[in-house]
Amino acid sequence: MAENRITRELETRAVQERPKQWTQPELLPEPDRQAGFDYRWIRVATLNVMDARNYSAKIREGWEPCKLDEQPKFQLLVDPNSRFKDNIEIGGLLLCKTPSEFVVQRNKYYQDQTRAQTEAVDNNLMRQSDPRMPLFKENKSSTSFGKGS
């Protein structure tokens, strides 16, 4: 008796999978993360013109350039004409890292600055507010229980 069977090669799941979707490639690849460090791409040049002011500000803030031997997957992506020879520069951006505690402290500093500025603006507006024509309308509602008239 002859059986109508599908050959084993055609029964694989790969044949049944959906075709893969094309996705736009990332402009900057994600580095391999080390515990306790945060990573960031720092601008060192714009249109091949060095941006020493931005770079020096970030270095003073605590960011330090990542070495190429720390991230070996970037070996082929690095700009060969880079001014930063043993570091990772792609398209005028330099991969840098800093301890995670610095990032937490920096975020808290800027949150405090924002809160203080917001309070100053609110206080200034409330000082200029007149009860006859308030800047902010307070929504008040009341509910009473009892006998109606």
Q: How confident is the model at residue 48 (pLDDT cuts 50, 70, 90)?
A: confident
Are 69 and 81 within 8 A, CB to CB? no
At 81-123, the pLDDT tens digits run 778 888 888 888 999 999 999 999 999 999 999 999 998 888 8
Helix segments in the chain, DSSP class H: 13-16, 52-61, 100-128
pTM of the predicted structure, to 2 decimals: 0.63
Long-range contacts of 121-124 (CB under 8 A, 24+ apart): none
Q: What are phi and psi of 93, to 5 degrees?
A: -115, 135
Tokens of 98: 């800093």
pLDDT at res. 64: 94
